[in-house]
């Protein structure tokens, strides 16, 4: 059922944070099945109307949860660009995938929630098509890092940067999803994945 957008107002101290924390907790514990505004309000100890007051609708709430973790992704991206030309490409990529996997472990439940709701999925796709939100934006900083390494001659001059970034993001996201199901450690197996990719990245 489509949700009615409610106007957002000035946040009250603590309410917004409590709602975001409750949303993440419910997603982690029971998944999208019980992700209702009623359950979120009960868990956060706030009035259900306050959710609409602060976030407008459920998609706005899920976007806010993703935004909460974006500083982590930005820090990872900035660190990777600074490390271009330092250490080894192999070591940098292992560290990059380890950090990205940790990031996607946090936001994968949000994308699952959107995918499970037809209305949310359609609206998310509409905003994503306009370039506002979506995992495609995660490719940009990786492309910048690889571009810098290419300028330094540490990766192939003819390397397709966008395709390589897509593969790296896909690996990190898929491992995060599988890890949440199998309960395996984040780092296990990552060096082997990088070693498989390296021959196609490094200069001859």
**CATH number of the domain that residue 29 is part of:** 1.10.10.60
Residue 157's CATH number: 1.10.357
Q: What is the pLDDT of residue 104?
A: 81
For residues 156 and 26, what is the distance between their CA atoms, to the nearest angstrom?
45
pLDDT over 50 (residue 132)? no
Residues 87 and 158 reside in one and the same domain: yes
Residues 193 and 103 reside in one and the same domain: yes
Which of 117-131, 135-149, 164-178: highest mean pLDDT? 164-178
pLDDT over 90 (residue 198)? yes
Residues 37 and 100 reside in one and the same domain: no
Half-sphere CA count of 129, side-chain side, radius 13 A: 6
Q: What is the pLDDT of residue 56?
A: 85
Mean pLDDT to the nearest integer, 15-23: 90
Least confident of 105-109, 171-175, 196-200: 105-109
What's the structural domain count of the chain? 2
Residues 79 and 166 reside in one and the same domain: yes
Q: Where are the alpha helices (DSSP H) in the chain?
A: 15-30, 37-44, 48-55, 58-83, 89-116, 118-129, 139-151, 161-182, 190-201
Residues 87 and 134 reside in one and the same domain: yes
Residues 185 and 87 reside in one and the same domain: yes
Residues 28 and 74 reside in one and the same domain: no
Residue 153 is part of which domain span? 69-201
Residues 75 and 50 reside in one and the same domain: no
Last residue of a domain, one of 56, 80, 103: 56
200 pLDDT band (50/70/90 cuts)? very high
pLDDT over 60 (residue 130)? no
Average pLDDT, the chain: 79
Placement of tokens 């060096």 in the chain: 191
Residues 77 and 144 reside in one and the same domain: yes
Last residue of a domain, one of 56, 79, 101: 56
C-alpha distance from residue 118 to each of 16, 85, 115, 123, 200 (Å)? 26, 45, 7, 9, 39
pLDDT over 80 (residue 137)? no
Residues 73 and 169 reside in one and the same domain: yes
Q: Is residue 62 included in any domain, yes or no?
A: no
Q: Is residue 85 included in any domain, yes or no?
A: yes
Q: What is the pLDDT of residue 181?
A: 65
Residues 32 and 103 reside in one and the same domain: no
Higher confidence at residue 180 or residue 18? 18
Residues 102 and 40 reside in one and the same domain: no
Rg of the chain's alpha carbons, rounded to an integer? 19
Q: What is the pLDDT of residue 151?
A: 95
pLDDT over 70 (residue 170)? yes
Least confident of 53-62, 81-90, 177-186, 190-199: 177-186
pLDDT over 80 (residue 75)? no
Q: Is residue 36 included in any domain, yes or no?
A: yes
């Amino acid at each position: 059922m489509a949700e009615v957008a409610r106007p957002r107002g000035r946040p009250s101290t603590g309410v917004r944070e409590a709602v975001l924390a409750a949303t993440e907790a419910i997603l982690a514990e029971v998944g999208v099945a019980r992700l209702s505004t009623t359950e979120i309000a009960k868990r956060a100890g706030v009035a259900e109307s306050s959710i609409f007051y602060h976030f407008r609708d459920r998609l706005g709430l899920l976007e806010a949860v993703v935004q909460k973790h974006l500083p982590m992704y930005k820090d990872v991206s900035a660190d990777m660009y600074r490390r271009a030309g330092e250490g080894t490409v192999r070591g940098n990529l292992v560290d990059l995938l380890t950090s990205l996997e940790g990031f996607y472990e946090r936001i994968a439940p949000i994308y699952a929630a959107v995918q499970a709701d037809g209305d949310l999925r359609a609206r998310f796709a509409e905003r994503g098509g306009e370039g506002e939100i979506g995992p495609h934006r995660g490719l940009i900083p990786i492309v910048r890092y690889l571009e810098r390494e290419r300028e330094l001659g540490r990766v192939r001059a003819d390397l397709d940067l966008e395709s390589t970034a897509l593969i790296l993001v896909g690996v990190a996201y898929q491992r995060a999803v599988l890890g949440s199901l199998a309960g395996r450690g984040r780092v296990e197996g990552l060096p082997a994945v990088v070693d498989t990719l390296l021959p196609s990245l490094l200069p001859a």
